[in-house]
Every structure is written in structure tokens, then in C-alpha cells.
Structure 1
């Protein structure tokens, strides 16, 4: 299955699961599970919630993770400080990368917005270098947009 079709199917699953639920934690938990169990070679998928200018671990699937990440540090903190998605093909080349799991080699982080403000980031890690590409970013952004629309 082509990536475009894959992400279209994944988005349909996400929308079906979250369509009747408005609790952000419940929806983040199910989105994490769907993405973690649907993507090959992914060792972590989850959310960090922005609380008092610090990212705090939220619902996730995978190995034990860092609990708090300052805004501006690591890939997740950079996504918040730059207010943009981060696609990192090799985390070991990313200055300031925070290694919560030494087996992670590439990463995508998508900011989550509510009423124009970042409230969280969706973080997905892979054990493979250069596992993610722009098509993955677009597909994951569509999933995050579905969550954002459900929170309004």
C-alpha cells in the first residue's frame, strides 16, 4: 500500500475512534496506540503536553520516556519554540537531541494547536535512520488536525 493510501486509512481509523470523544487525554492515548501499532519500525509514539512552558509526558506507547522537556531543547522542544513540525532523519546529528531511548534514530514531531496556541506535540520515533519523510509528516499532521478539530 502506498503511503498516501496508508495514511488515508490511518486517518479514517483515528477519526472513527475519536469522533464521539472530546477528552484530549483519552484521544491522545488512542491516537498513540493506533500510530504505534500501525507503523513498522516505530519504537515510540506519543504526546508531550505543554504545561507552564515545559513539555510534560502525556499518553504514549513504547519504552519509558523522558518526563519533562524544556521548550527549545531537543526535537520536541524545538518544535514548540519554532512552532513547526520537525523531521529529523538522524537524531544523532541533531544538536541538543535528548536521548530518552538510545535505540531511536529518526523522529517526527508535530505541534498540536488549540485556539491558535500550541498545547502539545505528537512525537514519533523510529529505530531506523531516515525512516520518515515529508509524506509521513503530512500524514501525521492530518492525524493531529483531526485531534485539534475534535478538541474545539
Structure 2
């Protein structure tokens, strides 16, 4: 068996030392490729985060303001025409860390400020639309 393997190597002109060096070179190239891919992924994540942060708008709430509350229970099965935003509530208290106290017809409750958006009446929305049309 060894004799046949020896002659097969000679026939194919196979040098095990050169093949080993070639394999090590391939592993170095692969490692360099991985490092380059990692750098590119980091650059992509940084740019995406910068773009996302640039698009964020700060929501400022104050007591007495009317807001809509996001109903997260409708997230999976909202129904055909059901809105995920529930009736306007009045803000009674705003804490510096984002917790906001809302007043319903009967009781008060606290929610996270990220679940709220300002409620615009028809008059306010018309003023808002006029301001948007004035922009270049």
C-alpha cells in the first residue's frame, strides 16, 4: 500500500511541503478577508446608526397637552381598519425621565413617553399643513 501511495505521489508530482505552505498562505488570506469584512460591517453599522439618529425627532410634552396613546395589544392582529392609537388623553404630569401621567375621564395612569404622540385638532393640523407648504 505504501509503495502505491509513493508512486501515486511521484506520478502527480505532489510535494507535501509546498502544499502545506500553500494551505497556510490560503488561511492567512482568509483571515485577512474576515478582518476586512468585520471592518466594513462596523463602518456600515456606524453610518446606519448616524442616519437613524439624524431622522429621530424629539417629542416634548407639557401638562395640559392632548396626546394619543399607542395600543400595543393591536400590534399582532390590528383588524382591518382599526387604529392603533387610542382616544386623546390629557397630560397631568411630566417627569424628567420620560414617564408621563395621563388623565382619562375617571382616573390617572402613567405611561412611557415613547408610546405617545401629540394629538392635533383639525385647526392645528391645517396650520401644520400650511407651515409644511411654506418650506422650499
- Fold similarity call, TM over 0.5: no
TM-score (norm. length: structure 2): 0.23
Structure of higher RCO (CA pairs closer than 8 Å, 6+ residues apart): 1
TM-score (norm. length: structure 1): 0.22
